[in-house]
Amino acid sequence: MAKVPTPKELTRINYRPPAKSWMDTKPEFRPGVYLNAPSPKWLEMIGYPYPRKWSVPDEDWHLPPDWKEIILAGMEDRLKRFRTLKLFFDICVRCGACADKCHYFLGSGDPKNMPVLRAELLRSVYRRYFKTAGKLLGEVAGARDLTEDVLKEWFFYLYQCTECRRCSLFCPYGIDMAEMTILGRELLSSVGINIEWVMASVASCYEKVGHIGATPHAYKDMIDFFAEECERITGILPEVTYNRKGAEILFIAPSGDYFADPGTYTYMGYLLLFQYLGLDYTISTYAAEGGNFGYFISHEMGKRLNAKFYEEAKRLGVKWILGGECGHMWRVCNQYMTTWHGPATFLEVPKSPITGTVFEHAREHKMVHICEFTADLIHHGKLKLDPQRNAHLKLTFHDSCNTSRAMGIFEEPRYIIRHVLPEGHFFEMPPNTIREKTFCCGSGSGVNADEYLEMRMRGGFPRANAVRYVHDKYGVNHLGCICAIDRAVLPTLMAYWVPGMEITGIHELVGNALVFDDEIERTTDLRDRDLVGVGKAEEAEGEAEDE
């Protein structure tokens, strides 16, 4: 008889995980669950160490001969420079409060994604080389040698953390796991271990306009096209200026909003709003990327890319900076920017030219999030809005990790939503999945590469699970967000877990609802979809004519 394994044998032999210690379980790199190694050219463009051709599933990663010394020296250096790292290594008591808070653990079921255990991957090496007990007792003291396998494991798991900081929220010590991941990735970078999606984006942003490496004129062309699209749909042609010296405000949006749908519609919303207000603003072709992929892999690279903001603001002589609907851009601006570059004394404390509101919270870094700006406009009754133009939407709102946990932007987008949607069209997801407890999209921090899809579907599952709930219960058909990575990855996540769910930025809805005095009759939204009642009215007329 043929030797076919029975289901029970299958479960006994393969299906059940081997009962090994976590220290001995090696990651298995198979397609779908690892990120590609970068092309050497990107590293060369930004002067990053050890550019070379290598491949993740290969046994030999062609590490520099002294890789171990480099890593340990890098660790020692960072222990001196980053008090957060030292605290993280020494004060975590492994209470487990974070264990079940990570979306990657919840979606993958892999215990090494419990933040406490993911941290242990780094900490065990710290103990071995920097603590007496670990040096003497080794594994007994939870210490282990730094080997190539350990390095590979770091790579595998440090890229399964999306730096969302949900675990930090529950940590009694407030250990910032995102920063630990960045520092871990910095160490990997120091021996030339990076990923293609991040390095290509970083190098492109460094040398050109945005993450896909567009040229300034392609960028200008694209935004001019949005303005024309606005005119086609609304009859209003937004006037856009580029690199205009003396403008009051410099506007910076994430590049996802000018090349990729559905972010592009959000960009049209920005343009319509600014035109409506007659805002004295300009767009830069130099500081043209709100996103900062550098920050995902190192503080140093984050700083290099972010420097464009202030440099350009200074060159153009603007008073303050307004930023688009981006997620991690706001953690960078809110928590790192002034530390990196010093106080921006050449800028003024942001003040809305329309309402006179002074944005005191931005006194230090001089940047305002567009949701704060727009909510203030609505609060002062400065916008004429017709919510019926969004009546085809039943919306729920996904709080982006960085705007919520790093900035506390909870009310502003909701306030806008309530004013641009008809009453009864906005539905919240369950409380333990929104606001500061929000679940990550699963693809933040530079892991949104297509080759990583299978892994991303795991990480995004807790978010999708909550979306499905409001989809099934209330018929919600749109998921709103204020982050460009969200707009890029949530359509994919939803297509797998909650088919029929569309993704939208909040300013797309503002663009739909804004009523201009001299606009043409609106029959569609910014995506060319019929407004409620419009298609039907025409049909009814058609039928009447037929009769």
Query: Where along the sequence are the contacts to another protein (CB under 8 A)?
Result: 6-8, 10-11, 14-17, 19, 28, 32-33, 99-100, 105-111, 114, 212, 218, 221-222, 225, 258-261, 263-264, 430, 432-433, 450, 453-455, 457-458, 461-462, 465-466, 469, 488-489, 491-492, 495-497
Radius of gyration from C-alpha coordinates of the chain: 25
- Of 367, 353, 256, residue with least CA distance to 322: 367
CB-based burial label for 369 (10 Å; 0-12, 13-18, 19+):
buried
Least separation in angstroms between CB 499 and another protein = 9
Q: What distances in angstroms separate CA 5 from CA 16, 28, 145, 427, one per listed residue?
A: 14, 23, 39, 49
Sign of the Cα torsion 483, 485, 491, 495 reads negative
Q: Which of 61/156 has CB closer to another protein? A: 156
Please report how the helices 461-474 and 484-497 are oriented relative to each other, as an axis angle in degrees rounded to 10: 70
Q: Which of 376/508 has CB closer to another protein? A: 508
Least separation in angstroms between CB 489 and another protein = 8
Least separation in angstroms between CB 140 and another protein = 21
Least separation in angstroms between CB 336 and another protein = 27
Cα dihedral 105, 106, 109, 115 in deg (nearest 10): 20
Q: Classify residue 13 by its DSSP letter.
A: I
AA letter at 134:
G
CB-based burial label for 111 (10 Å; 0-12, 13-18, 19+):
middle
| Secondary-structure breakdown of the chain: helix, strand, coil percentages, each rounded to the nearest 5 | 55, 5, 40
Task: Write out the H or E segment, with its range, that includes residue 283.
Answer: strand 281-283
User: What span, in angstroms and rounded, lies between the C-alpha atoms of 166 and 259?
Assistant: 30
Bond before 422 cis per omega within 30 degrees: no
Q: Which of 200/333 has CB closer to another protein? A: 200
The three-class DSSP label of residue 252 is: strand
Q: Which of 329/490 has CB closer to another protein? A: 490
Q: Which of 382/529 has CB closer to another protein? A: 529
Which residues, 6+ apart, have CB-to-CB distance to 114 below 8 Å?
Answer: 96, 98, 99, 100, 102, 105
Q: Which of 19/544 has CB closer to another protein? A: 19
Q: Which two tokens stand for residue 331?
A: 């953690």
Least separation in angstroms between CB 268 and another protein = 10
Least separation in angstroms between CB 129 and another protein = 27
Q: Which two tokens stand for residue 303?
A: 């700083």
Least separation in angstroms between CB 10 and another protein = 5
Q: Which of 181/465 has CB closer to another protein? A: 465
Least separation in angstroms between CB 259 and another protein = 5
User: What span, in angstroms and rounded, lies between the C-alpha atoms of 255 and 89?
Assistant: 36
Q: Which alpha helices (DSSP H) does 193-344 contain, by range?
A: 196-207, 216-234, 256-259, 263-277, 294-297, 299-316, 328-335, 337-341
Least separation in angstroms between CB 256 and another protein = 9
Query: Could you tell me if 271 and 241 are in contact, meaning their C-beta atoms sit under 8 angstroms apart?
Result: no
Least separation in angstroms between CB 524 and another protein = 15
Q: Which of 319/468 has CB closer to another protein? A: 468
Least separation in angstroms between CB 25 and another protein = 9
Q: Which of 4/544 has CB closer to another protein? A: 4
First to last CA, the chain: 74
AA letter at 28:
E
Query: Could you tell me if 175 and 183 are in contact, meaning their C-beta atoms sit under 8 angstroms apart?
Result: no
Q: Which of 109/533 has CB closer to another protein? A: 109
Q: Which two tokens stand for residue 165?
A: 């900081």
Q: Classify residue 449 by its DSSP letter.
A: -
Least separation in angstroms between CB 465 and another protein = 4
Q: Which of 110/186 has CB closer to another protein? A: 110
Least separation in angstroms between CB 454 and another protein = 5
Least separation in angstroms between CB 492 and another protein = 5
Q: Which of 111/317 has CB closer to another protein? A: 111
- Of 132, 130, 95, 135, residue with least CA distance to 114: 95
Q: Give residue 46's Cα distance to chain centre.
A: 22
Other beta carbons less than 10 A from residue 267's beta carbon: 29
Q: Which of 364/451 has CB closer to another protein? A: 451
Q: Which of 87/260 has CB closer to another protein? A: 260
